[in-house]
Amino acid sequence: MKQELITISPIDGREVVRRPYVDETTLAAMLERAQAAQPAWRARPLNERKALVSAAVERFVAMRDEVAHAITLQMGRPLRYTPGEVDGFAARARHMIDIADTALAPVAVAPQAGFTRYIKREPIGVVLTIAPWNYPLLTAVNSIVPALVAGNVVILKHSEQTPLCAERMHRAFVEAGLPADVFQFVHANHEMTQRLIAAPEIGYVSFTGSVNGGRMVERTAAGRFIGVGLELGGNDPAYVRADAKLDHAVETLVDGAFFNSGQSCCGIQRIYVADSIYDTFVEHAVALTQQYVLGDPMLPETTLGPLVRVSAADGVRAILADAAERGARNLIDAKRFAADRDGTAYLAPALLVDVDHSMTLMNDECFGPAVGIMRVKDDDDAIQWMNDSPYGLTAAVFTRDEDAAVRIGERVSTGTFFMNRCDYLDPALAWTGVKNTGRGASLSVIGYEHLTQPKSFHLRSL
């Protein structure tokens, strides 16, 4: 069993972080301290909790350049983009703080003579957040901030690829004056992570990661009767109708497919295009994709960095080979991208046509800079293919007809349905999914429901 966390940068293969894993004794003490800290934190007025969490968020924003550099170093997203994740962290956090009074207000019921009746939302206790590397801030903030504001205490277990993000976040909360042990982080191997999930002190688990990881969480938590929120991935589709604004659709979907080197749960992996505009769409998409600059993500001109590790890039290469063997054509010549070399994490973007749903690219999560484009004859045809997936995180339609978009959206199995945009998360809306994408919801007022428990008051006057 590994005794140390070692993070290798995909930029050049060098070691950038080495930390000891938590041991059983230290973990038990951490859980005990978290449980002990929660009653006093819960007892603080909501406005005080909001003020302290807000101060921590602003302290974290003040570390923007440092945090952005750490993200790029650990997982390879170009440095020109990583400051935007700090901004996104702040925007989501501020929104969840702003709506807390409404989200946590007692639920009134119909008046009844002689009785006072209402439903109060109470904190669960200790929340465990298990966050991934691909968006290390945006995935973690979804549960951490509302959990703390609601009166819970939080333990953050971050990906082994992005441990510095957990450390920087914790430092910001401490420097902002959050009481001791209200927010803790832990570097844990798989065995200790399972120990955490199974610990009687933990009352809720928020997990973002793979389907297999989600199954592990459910198995480990089984029989404990606690809530688990699982956001497990996607194979997200988009449909470009004949009435779409073509240039906007091309620009939005190419970015939706290749941003973060395609390492996004809600990134676009399948595009279905109306027959009448298919050829033009493909032509423009190829031209735009060829403009990407693949290389060292620390350089300002780079728009496409490496994948998170060499094995991840090799996995995407295998998916592309599978598609080619089944008749797909990649319209992007990898030779245009000098950094693309076997044995490295650097991989050129791939835009495939002549695809079908027998290919892994079109029926499972790829998590790399690859997208398939398929011709469809009408709305019904597009909806059939959009729904032909074991996942359901987001789906998008590009059209000038909002009524048509609503009709299509009502028939597509997905957690979020977009019109004329994609690969985006609005904190005012519930972030959720169907099928193998998981269960539960984060963000919006609904997110608070999962991080609290209802308590009914039924008071009779005599």
Catalytic center residues: 231
Radius of gyration of the chain from its Cα atoms, rounded to whole angstroms: 23
The whole-angstrom distance between residue 59's C-alpha and the CA centroid of its chain comes to: 23
Dist. CA 250–CA 20, nearest whole Å: 46
CA quadruple 340, 345, 350, 354: dihedral sign: positive
Between CA 405 and CA 372 the distance in angstroms is 22
Which residue is listed with tokens 């493909």? 282
What residues have CB less than 8 Å from 259, skipping those under 6 apart?
81, 267, 423
Nearest to 419, CA basis, from 431, 433, 401, 437: 401
Answer whether 146's CB lies under 8 Å from 96's CB: yes
Amino acid identity of residue 127, one-letter, is V
Sign of the C-alpha dihedral computed for residues 133, 291, 359 and 231 taken in this order: positive
CA distance linking residue 260 with residue 458, whole number of Å = 51
Long-range contacts of 3-10 (CB under 8 A, 24+ apart): 5/160, 5/163, 5/187, 5/189, 6/160, 7/74, 7/160, 7/161, 7/162, 7/163, 7/164, 8/309, 9/73, 9/74, 9/76, 10/75, 10/76, 10/305, 10/306, 10/307, 10/308, 10/309, 10/310, 10/345
Write out the two tokens for 410.
């009502």
φ, ψ of residue 121 in degrees (nearest 5): -100, 120
For every residue of 29-84, DSSP letters joined together read HHHHHHHHHHHHHHHS-HHHHHHHHHHHHHHHHHTHHHHHHHHHHHH---TTTHHH
Residue 327 structure tokens: 């008749």
**Number of Cβ within a 10 Å radius of residue 30:** 19
